[in-house]
Amino acid sequence: MNDCIHTSVATVTKLNEDLLCVEYHQDVFVDIAQLAEAREAYLKLMGKKKFYLLTVINHGVTHSLDARKEWLKKKRSSFKLAEAFVINNLPHRMIANFVMRVTPPPHKINYFSNEYRALEWLLKQKRYRN
């Protein structure tokens, strides 16, 4: 099985048996169709089992309001044990803080400025779960 799938806006990589990374390319626009591509990649790599997700948002990534609403739906969270976002710019951090205050998703989520700290947090979540 290939452990890496390229979508139109991101690369989805299986890091181990219960950890995926989705890295959005620079300067891409994410709408509902792109979220659906990512979900299909998740299913191909993980099947129906739950997993931890590292989401890397690179510079210039933008998304539609519809995509944000879709991301918040329970069906998008049902397969996630926890999710760590890597966000390096102020506008994305402001959006993330607003979303978390107004409509937090049902799974554990946290935001970081680098991948190392994000992975560290995800592994901590995994240890607490076991």
CATH numbers and ranges of domains, the chain: 4-129 (3.30.750)
Long-range contacts of 116-123 (CB under 8 A, 24+ apart): 118/54, 118/84, 118/85, 118/86, 119/54, 119/84, 121/82, 121/84, 122/19, 122/52, 122/54, 122/82, 122/84
Mean pLDDT of 82-91: 84
Mean pLDDT in residue range 93-110: 71
Looking at residue 107, its pLDDT comes to: 73
Q: 74 Cβ partners below 8 Å, 6+ apart?
A: 106
pTM, two decimals, is 0.86
List beta partners, residue 53.
Answer: 20, 83
Query: For residue 1, is pLDDT > 60?
Result: no
Q: Model confidence at 62, in pLDDT bands (50, 70, 90)?
A: confident
Tens-digit pLDDT profile for residues 7-52: 999 999 999 999 999 999 999 999 999 999 999 999 999 999 999 9
pLDDT band at 63 (very low <50, low <70, confident <90, very high): confident
Q: What is the pLDDT of residue 88?
A: 79
